[in-house]
């Protein structure tokens, strides 16, 4: 087993530069954990691009193989609950950050990072969702668990064309919500096609920094961007409404007073896919495979091999990617 060789996209530091190249590796190059997975598919996330370009907030040590998402087949296991031959999903925790990730044809991970592939989902389909889709599903799951229902009013999704936002729009629409999608792009057709009832410009959901409260409008909010936009969304949430927060592309600061919380009973829920407990992870993947599976994802997914991946990393850094990019490993 240890003499298996495989290909991986390895990032090496050379002076101030970070060089990406496909290298041949052995299983002994991987960290010593209990489960070895042959990766069939991975997917590209913004975090992977940060890891691939030397962002120390994501990856401290190089050389390193990024890839926070992986779907494949178990080829060795020291754990009684993880069987050889089982199809599995592994994503987040430390995968692709400081543990060699899904941009290699094999990964070696702790058994408690491994989620069995749910019935109704192929390995490829799982990576069409990846961490972005999982985060959208987790956000909606938490909103529903908090008691937000379709008859309570409109639900806002910010960063709506992004990986998380676009899936959140689709899932909320399927749950019967009247979804208002906020976007900085001219993407009305795309967002209405996902199930949004209306689309508003990003400029309509920012501003109002001088006011502690704004006209109450949203029964729920799935925020993917943070900053001023999240701040305004919280100030505009109806009494008893719920807001989820998962991202910071618009900023990490959250200028607010306590008034939306103490005068309207608004709840703010944090979303952390990386450390989501395994039992909840199972539940979310089950929901994706059953209630929240969408045919349209196929048309919005581009597939590359390891050789084509580096160019896609440059594209995502330049904000040019629309839809999802998955990586197919040669078996």
Task: Kindly list the residues in this chain that would bind ligand NAP in the complex (CB under 6 A).
Answer: 45-46, 131-132, 135, 159-165, 183-185, 202, 224-225, 229, 246-250, 271-274
Minimum distance from CB of 320 to ligand NAP (Å)? Answer: 11
The DSSP call for residue 251 is: B
Closer to ligand NAP by CB, 15 or 319: give it: 319
Q: 130-139 burial by CB neighbour count: b if 16+ within 10 A, else e?
A: bbbbbbbbbb
As given in the structure block, the two tokens for residue 260 are 């939306």
Cα angle, residue 46 at apex, residues 142 and 111 outer, rounded to 5°: 65
Q: Which residue sits closest to ligand NAP, CB atoms considered?
A: 162
Q: What is the C-alpha separation between 178 and 168, in angstroms, rounded? A: 12
Closer to ligand NAP by CB, 135 or 301: give it: 135
Minimum distance from CB of 200 to ligand NAP (Å)? Answer: 10
Closer to ligand NAP by CB, 131 or 312: give it: 131
Minimum distance from CB of 267 to ligand NAP (Å)? Answer: 17
Minimum distance from CB of 202 to ligand NAP (Å)? Answer: 5
Closer to ligand NAP by CB, 15 or 270: give it: 270
Closer to ligand NAP by CB, 272 or 314: give it: 272
How would DSSP label each residue in 277-325?
Answer: -HHHHHHHHHHHHTTT--THHHHTEEEE-HHHHHHHHHHHHTT---SEE
Q: What is the C-alpha separation between 35 and 61, in angstroms, rounded? A: 22
Minimum distance from CB of 107 to ligand NAP (Å)? Answer: 19
């Amino acid at each position: 087993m240890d003499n298996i060789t495989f290909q991986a996209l390895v990032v090496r530091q050379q002076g101030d530069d970070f060089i990406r190249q496909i290298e041949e590796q052995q299983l002994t190059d991987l960290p010593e954990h209990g489960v070895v997975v042959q990766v069939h598919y991975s997917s590209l996330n913004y975090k992977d691009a940060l890891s691939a370009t030397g962002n120390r907030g994501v990856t401290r040590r190089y050389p390193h193989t990024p890839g926070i998402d992986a779907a494949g087949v178990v080829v060795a296991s020291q754990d009684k609950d993880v069987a050889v031959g089982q199809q599995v999903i592994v994503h987040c925790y430390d995968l692709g950050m400081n543990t060699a990730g899904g941009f290699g044809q094999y990964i070696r991970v702790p058994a408690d990072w491994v989620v069995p592939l749910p019935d109704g989902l192929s390995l490829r389909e799982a990576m069409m969702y990846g961490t972005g889709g999982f985060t959208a599903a987790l956000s909606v799951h938490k909103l529903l668990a908090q008691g937000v229902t379709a008859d309570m009013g409109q639900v806002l999704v910010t960063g709506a064309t992004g990986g998380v936002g676009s899936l959140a729009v689709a899932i909320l629409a399927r749950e019967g919500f009247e979804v208002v999608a906020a976007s900085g792009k001219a993407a009305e057709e795309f967002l209405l096609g996902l199930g949004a009832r209306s689309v508003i410009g990003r400029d309509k959901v920012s501003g109002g920094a001088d006011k502690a409260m704004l006209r109450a409008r949203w029964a729920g909010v799935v925020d993917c961007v943070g900053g001023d936009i999240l701040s305004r969304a919280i100030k505009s949430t109806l009494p008893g409404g719920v807001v989820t927060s998962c991202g910071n592309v618009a900023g990490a600061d959250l200028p607010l007073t306590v008034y939306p919380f103490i005068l309207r009973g608004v709840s703010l829920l944090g979303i952390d896919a990386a450390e989501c407990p395994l039992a909840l992870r199972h539940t979310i993947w089950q929901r994706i495979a059953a209630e929240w599976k969408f045919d349209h994802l196929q048309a919005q997914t581009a597939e590359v091999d390891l050789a084509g991946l580096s160019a896609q990393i440059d594209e995502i850094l330049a904000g040019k990617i629309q839809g999802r990019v998955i990586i197919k490993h040669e078996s």
